[in-house]
């Protein structure tokens, strides 16, 4: 059963349940009363691309507020369910709340309908949250630019979707990146896909992980808001893989080994 376009007609719709229970996602927009000169913490940079076995999603770990570095261990790739991840650039507080609502939404649908929500339904659920967040985004207090990656068990295909501030979604056939370091990353990914040794979609897991680490490290050289991998301080990018088996995050030991070889010069 697909997620219905009209929430009121879908018995498994979690948003409708929240509304009946008195919870309003839009309530977060009350922050729009805060003065516009408040400096809000932001997270950058994230990327995603198709590789041979599925989708790779990665992000640096730095969170900034204006020209200040607030945190060097921010997790910007967030699990939503066993087969879905959301990577965020923007205000972490808003993104984490979106992630919590989405997680409950997907689980409520699964339990009430006795089956998982379709990939199309998941994509539209995030779009709905972004549309309701427009007020905060316009104020500059809740801007979130997410990448949603999922493996659809029904179609047995991995998908990447990018969203704009108004909730419009765009399916990504090859690669995407968002955040302040994204211009550098998108250019390199396009070059690699067109003229690299292999198109991105044909690359192995190890090749894809190495590329992702190098991309984020390169972006950090040109963008101060993107954090570098610092193995000496146990600070590594977040790298996750989505395949037919679900999502998997690479642990620090794996990242240390990959960084040791992939970040060498020459």
List active site positions.
Answer: 44
Q: How far apart are the first and last CA of the chain?
A: 53
Q: How are the residues of the chain apportioned to helix, strand and coil, as percentages rounded to the nearest 5? A: 40, 25, 35
Rounded Cα distance, 229 and 174, in Å? 25
Rounded Cα distance, 188 and 17, in Å? 44
Total length of the chain? 266
Rounded Cα distance, 146 and 167, in Å? 10
Q: Which two tokens stand for residue 115?
A: 């089956």
Residue 232's contacts (CB-CB under 8 Å, 6 or more residues apart) are: none
Q: Going by DSSP bridges, is the β-strand pair 169-172/157-163 parallel, antiparallel, or unpaired?
A: antiparallel
């Amino acid at each position: 059963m697909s997620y219905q376009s009209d929430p009121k007609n879908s018995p498994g719709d979690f948003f409708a349940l929240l509304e009946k229970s008195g919870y309003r996602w839009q309530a977060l927009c009350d922050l729009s009363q805060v003065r516009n000169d408040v400096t809000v913490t932001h997270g950058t940079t994230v990327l995603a691309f198709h590789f041979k076995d599925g989708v790779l999603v990665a992000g640096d770990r730095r969170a900034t507020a204006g020209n200040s570095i607030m945190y060097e261990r921010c997790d910007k790739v967030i699990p939503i369910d066993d087969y879905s991840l959301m990577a965020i650039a923007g205000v972490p507080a808003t993104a984490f709340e979106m992630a919590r609502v989405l997680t409950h939404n997907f689980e409520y649908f699964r339990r009430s309908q006795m089956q998982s929500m379709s990939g199309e339904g998941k994509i539209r659920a995030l779009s709905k949250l972004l549309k309701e967040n427009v007020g905060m985004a316009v104020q500059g207090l809740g801007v979130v630019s997410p990448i949603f990656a999922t493996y659809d068990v029904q179609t047995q295909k991995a998908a990447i979707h990018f969203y704009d501030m108004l909730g419009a979604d765009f399916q990504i056939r090859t690669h995407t990146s968002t955040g302040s370091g994204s211009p550098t990353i998108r250019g390199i990914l396009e070059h690699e896909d067109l003229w690299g040794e292999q198109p991105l979609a044909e690359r192995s897991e190890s090749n894809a992980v190495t590329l992702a680490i190098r991309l984020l490290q390169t972006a950090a050289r040109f963008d101060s808001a993107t954090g570098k991998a610092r193995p000496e301080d146990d600070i590594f990018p977040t790298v996750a893989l989505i395949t037919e088996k679900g999502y998997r995050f690479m642990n620090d030991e794996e990242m240390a080994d990959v960084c040791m070889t992939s970040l060498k010069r020459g």
